[in-house]
Amino acid sequence: MPVSEKQYQERVYEIVRKIPEGKVMTYGQIAEILGQGYTPRTVGYVMNASNTDDVPWQRVINAKGGCSTAKITMIVDLQQNLLEDEGIEFNESGYCDLDVYRWYPEGYEEEDDEQPTLFGS
DNA sequence: CTCGTGACGGGGG
DNA sequence: TCCCCCGCCACGA
């Protein structure tokens, strides 16, 4: 029994669940924190599988500060609506100010020096 | 196994 | 601000 995919998703959810109301995080930001094989793409894939789970999925947006969600435009409307309900303001283009609403998990904001010493051979 | 696609991101025009 | 292209990784046909 290999490392279940569930664990892979759990690490993403674990972070998303910590996002307080009125705050947001980007896919890339989450991928950055998890590192090790996580990329914005994979994080987005995980969130897609989640959706109606017990995680505040609406607080995860793209780096532009908007709700991507491509085709399913109806979801974009829902997501932005939920966030506006939490006090987040979106401009006419559908973007919010990440410099204001972006949230940083405790213990992860400071990641300046991370030079691996055991880099093999 | 290869190919196309996607709740992404960054760079360039 | 918007549009396009490329890199990224996982998945389904």
Nucleotide at minimal C1' distance from the A63 CA: B9
For residue A102, give the DSSP letter.
Answer: B
**Alpha carbons A111 and A42: distance in angstroms, whole number:** 22
Within 15-44 of chain A, which residues have Cβ less than 7 Å from strand C?
37, 39-42
Average pLDDT in chain A: 82
Q: Is residue A57 part of a domain?
A: yes
Q: Is residue A26 part of a domain?
A: yes
Q: Which residue has the higher pLDDT, A121 or A10?
A: A10
**Alpha carbons A83 and A21: distance in angstroms, whole number:** 8
* A6-49 confidence digits (pLDDT tens): 778 899 999 999 999 999 999 999 999 998 889 999 999 999 88
Of how many residues is chain A composed? 121
Structure tokens at A42: 């994979």
Domain of A27: which CATH number?
1.10.10.10
Beta bridge partners of A24: A102
